[in-house]
């Protein structure tokens, strides 16, 4: 299969989907109106509720939902072949993921910016709302701990990325200061910030930074502690101080990196060095689980992800200034994420075949390169393996444009680490919102404050990260649960959105009901298979937590069906 043809076909599909289906959802299904006051306008407080320009909130939302999800998921999902991965990413994004994100954002806009968990109480019942909170807390707990580890691993693999990643913080703060406090031109300030950011990337190639071991704590553990301290600070600051400007310049970083990938595909193909070398379909890779249902669990971000509903109904709904902006922010961001996931698939199925350095300093090309990296599920499933497959393939394609290979590696290492960082601080802020909502409902006074709630979120993540040793990798114990937890949350969020649409009359609810049924079936199927595997391995922790997730998924699905068959008065 020609990589250029694949890219063009998928991109045209996304453009048509946004122009046709997205517009239909906006005007005919959700009936967005700029006459309706959004929570950001009605409840403006300068900290969390802040009316924001569409382009800036798009940047925040997109970088928050993207993280490393659309990179690591497709980078492992292609082990079943590039064709199933591409089909799921394209179809999943257009009719499931983008609808899910858009719907979660809209219903939160119409419920004072409340979270999807809180809104569950209005459309199902208070009991279901409480158990929904449990799965949200679990999801965010894992996300905070694991994304701190992801960045720590990237810093260890690519020490050249450390300087530019940390330099983004003062650049973002200065950008926010000049735009919000001094009224500077957004375009001029953006250009200066982005140019400065890429200067730090070049500098990073000559000043790699590595942390020494501190006692029994290795560099990964040290970075994890530092990153979680950062997450506490970042998630308690007003959104205009760091979160918005950092996510905004990261969005520009993403656009530039994606442009490098797109033009790199054309340049590499022009020289005859780029062909998809992975098999189209590979039903039984060595050691891999069945493609059904695990493809739909492995590739989450980039197709559909429950975490996106938390971002949409957590931070983004508190910043959207006008309802019609929700189309670009909700549906458009997911389309852009699907675009990124497609480029990742091309990088790891074609770009990797241009040049792949083996452990003995040899260089493989073509199908041999892909087979070396994806020889088995065990070989390709590690966190570092997923990241390196993308970085190698992307750097190869960027090098076709004349970008020095060493610089290209840093560009994409920084790219991955930066997006993991935006997910980390957004997830911490979201966990704070959830804890505050629960504290308010259960009258736990001291946890209503943002500092206490954020401290609780960070400390519990630290406990998970270090519970089995000083390396900070404790979250990897629960990582096998994350895909199913995340996709279960997507299915449950779609149930709530379906009930919202049903309350408005007509049959529009079918547009979310069908994806909801599909995701619930796939995830519960995967959860039962996982439970069997965990029982066979004797892992008590995973057995108990996975069983809890099964009970929650079945419970909420059942309650959702009961609520669906009742006449609703919301």
Q: What is the DSSP string of 118-184?
A: HHHHHHS-HHHHHHHHHHHHHHHHHHHHHHHHHHHHHHHH-GGGHHHHHHHHHHHHHHHIIIIIS--
- pLDDT, mean of each 10-residue run, the chain (570 residues): 90 98 97 94 91 90 84 91 97 98 97 91 88 87 87 89 94 92 90 94 92 83 92 91 88 89 92 88 90 94 94 94 97 96 95 84 84 79 76 92 90 88 89 88 86 95 87 80 89 95 94 96 95 94 91 91 75
Domain span at residue 394 reads 3-564
452, 429, 517, 556: which is closest to 130 by C-alpha?
A: 556
Q: Which two tokens stand for residue 254?
A: 């993403």
Residue 335 burial by CB count (10 A; 0-12/13-18/19+): exposed, middle or buried? buried
Q: Which two tokens stand for residue 200?
A: 């730090």
Tokens 């290979």 sit on residue: 405
Q: Coil, helix or strand for 332? A: helix
Q: Which neighbouring-strand residues pair with 217?
A: 214
Q: Distance between CA 315 and CA 321 in Å, rounded?
A: 13
Residue 12 burial by CB count (10 A; 0-12/13-18/19+): exposed, middle or buried? exposed
* CB neighbour list of residue 454: distance below 8 Å, 6 or more residues apart: 232, 235, 236, 428, 429, 431, 432
CB 560 within 8 A of CB 519: no
CATH code of 410's domain: 1.20.1740.10
C-alpha of 24 from chain center: 25
In a domain, 463, yes or no: yes
Domain count within the chain: 1
Q: What is the DSSP string of 270-330?
A: HTT-----S-S--SS-TT---HHHHHHHHS-TTT--HHHHHHHTTTGGGTBSSTTHHIIII
Taking residue 259's Cβ as centre, other Cβ atoms within 10 Å add up to 11
In a domain, 569, yes or no: no
Q: Which two tokens stand for residue 46?
A: 């300068």
Quick one: the chain helix, strand, coil %, rounded to 5?
Answer: 75, 0, 25
In a domain, 570, yes or no: no
Distances (CA, A) of 372 to 173, 343, 369: 43, 21, 5
* CB neighbour list of residue 468: distance below 8 Å, 6 or more residues apart: 474, 477
In a domain, 346, yes or no: yes
What pTM does this model have?
Answer: 0.91
Q: Distance between CA 358 and CA 364 in Å, rounded?
A: 7
In a domain, 393, yes or no: yes
Q: Distance between CA 57 and CA 49 in Å, rounded?
A: 12
In a domain, 427, yes or no: yes
Residue 364 dihedral angles phi and psi, to the nearest 5°: -110, 155
Q: Distance between CA 345 and CA 389 in Å, rounded?
A: 10
Q: What is the DSSP string of 451-491?
A: HHHHHHHHHHHHHHHHTT-TTS-GGGGTHHHHHHHHHHHHH
- Tell me what pLDDT residue 382 has: 64
């Amino acid at each position: 299969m020609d990589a250029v043809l694949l890219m063009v076909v998928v991109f045209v599909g996304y453009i048509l989907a946004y122009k046709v289906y997205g517009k239909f959802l906006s005007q005919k299904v959700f009936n967005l109106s700029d006459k309706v006051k959004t929570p950001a306008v009605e409840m403006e407080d300068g900290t969390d509720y802040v009316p924001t320009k569409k382009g800036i909130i798009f940047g925040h939302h997109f970088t928050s939902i993207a993280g490393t999800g659309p990179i690591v998921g497709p980078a492992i999902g292609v082990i079943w072949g590039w064709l199933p991965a591409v089909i799921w990413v394209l179809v999943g994004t257009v009719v499931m993921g983008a609808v899910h994100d858009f719907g979660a954002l809209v219903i939160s806009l119409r419920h004072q910016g409340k979270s999807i968990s809180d809104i569950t109480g209005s459309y199902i019942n208070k009991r279901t709302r409480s158990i929904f909170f449990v799965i949200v807390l679990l999801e965010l707990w894992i996300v905070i701990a694991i994304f701190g580890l992801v960045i720590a691993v990237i810093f260890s693999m690519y020490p050249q990325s450390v300087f530019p990643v940390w330099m983004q913080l003062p650049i973002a703060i200065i950008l926010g200061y000049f735009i919000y406090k001094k009224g500077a031109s957004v375009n001029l300030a953006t250009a200066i910030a982005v140019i400065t950011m890429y200067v730090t990337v070049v500098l990073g190639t000559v000043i790699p930074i590595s942390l020494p071991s501190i006692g029994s704590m290795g560099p990964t553990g040290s970075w994890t502690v530092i990153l979680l301290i950062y997450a506490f600070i970042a998630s308690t600051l007003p959104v205009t101080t760091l979160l918005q400007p950092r996510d905004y310049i990261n969005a520009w970083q993403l656009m530039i990196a994606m442009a490098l990938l797109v033009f790199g595909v054309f340049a590499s193909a022009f020289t005859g060095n780029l062909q998809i070398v992975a098999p189209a379909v590979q039903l039984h890779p060595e050691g891999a689980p069945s493609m059904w249902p695990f493809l739909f669990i492995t590739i989450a971000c980039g197709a559909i992800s429950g975490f996106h509903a938390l971002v949409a109904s957590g931070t983004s709904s508190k910043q959207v200034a006008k309802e019609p902006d929700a189309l670009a922010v909700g549906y458009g961001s997911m389309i852009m994420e699907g675009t990124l996931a497609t480029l990742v698939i091309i990088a790891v199925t074609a770009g990797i075949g241009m040049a792949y350095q083996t452990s003995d300093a040899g260089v493989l090309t073509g199908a041999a390169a892909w087979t070396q990296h994806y020889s088995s599920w065990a070989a390709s499933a590690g966190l570092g393996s997923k990241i390196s497959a993308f970085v190698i393939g992307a750097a190869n394609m960027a090098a076709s444009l004349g970008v020095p290979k060493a610089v290209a590696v840093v560009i994409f290492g920084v790219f991955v680490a930066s997006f993991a960082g935006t997910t980390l601080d957004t997830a911490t802020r979201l966990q704070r919102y959830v804890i505050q909502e629960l504290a308010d409902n259960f009258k736990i006074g001291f946890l209503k404050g943002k500092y206490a709630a954020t401290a609780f979120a960070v400390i519990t993540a630290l406990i998970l990260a270090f519970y089995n040793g000083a390396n900070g990798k404790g979250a990897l114990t629960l990582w096998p649960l994350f895909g199913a937890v995340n996709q279960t949350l997507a299915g449950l969020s779609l149930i709530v959105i379906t009930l919202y649409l049903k309350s408005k009359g007509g049959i529009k609810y079918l547009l979310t009901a069908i994806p909801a049924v599909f995701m619930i079936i796939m995830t519960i199927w995967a959860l039962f298979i996982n439970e069997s595997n965990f029982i066979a391995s004797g892992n008590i922790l995973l057995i108990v937590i996975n069983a809890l997730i099964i009970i929650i998924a079945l419970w909420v699905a059942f309650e959702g069906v009961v609520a669906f068959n009742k006449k609703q008065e919301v």
